[in-house]
Amino acid sequence: MTLVELLDRIRRPYIDQLSHAATGPGFHVEPVMRRADGSAAGDGLLDTPCRCDLVRKAMGGVQSVNATGCIRLEPVHMTLDGVPVSIDAFPWDWLTLRIAGIPDADANALMRNWFLRWFDRDDENPRNADGLYGVVHFLDDPVRVDGNLRYHIDLGSAPAGAVFQLIEDVLQHGATALWLS
């Protein structure tokens, strides 16, 4: 099994739930939280925008879809480009990513750029076969834990390839270890 296939296997339970919920009538699917002027509302240290899973058209209430359970997966430990990478089963809508070896400012810029690349701020992505837009939803501010930077990411409906690209980006920027859980 390739790394992308593994990530897609982790992704599938959440995507199935979100896709099913998105077929219900009366919902805006994966809408961007916007300011009164229509611009995407950024927040936090990284000034990143946010998407909801679903918003009811009639009442405006937000509906979240939570991955009720992760797939069963023995932790995977590998070395990519000489760097140890560990992957535990994680809910697609709440990835905990820990990075070692990259200065804070560089890691934050890398994470923000990756996030915005997969966010689709202007809603240009068409719906895919799952009825979703292939976008990330949320990036939390980093926290330093045990000397490493920790990020929480709601990967939304982004494809497994987006996470693979994130792993490649982090490794290319000098990470000395990487954990996904």
- How far is 15 from 158, CA to CA, in rounded Å? 9
pLDDT tens, the chain, 181 aa long: 899 999 999 999 999 999 999 987 889 999 999 999 999 999 999 999 999 999 999 877 898 988 766 677 889 999 999 999 999 989 999 999 999 999 999 999 999 999 999 999 999 999 999 999 999 999 999 999 999 999 999 999 999 999 999 999 999 999 999 999 9
Q: What pTM value is reported for the model?
A: 0.95
Helix (H, G, I), strand (E, B) or coil at 152: strand
- How far is 63 from 86, CA to CA, in rounded Å? 32
Token digits of residue 123:
């809603």
The count of domains in the chain is 1
Token digits of residue 1:
């099994």
Q: Taking a C-beta distance cutoff of 8 angstroms, is the pair 140, 65 a contact?
A: no
Helix (H, G, I), strand (E, B) or coil at 161: helix
Pairing of strands 148-154, 95-100: antiparallel
Q: How many CB atoms lie within 10 A of CB 37?
A: 6
Helices assigned H by DSSP within 48-159: 104-119
Token digits of residue 96:
């905990």
**Residue in 143, 158, 150 with CA at minimum distance from that of residue 177:** 150
**Structure letter (DSSP) for residue 101:** S
Q: Which domain holds residue 40?
A: 3-180
**What is the layout of strands, in order, in the sheet containing 27-29?**
27-29, 54-56, 62-63
Amino acid 15: pLDDT: 96
Residues 6+ apart with CB under 8 A from 104: 142, 144, 149
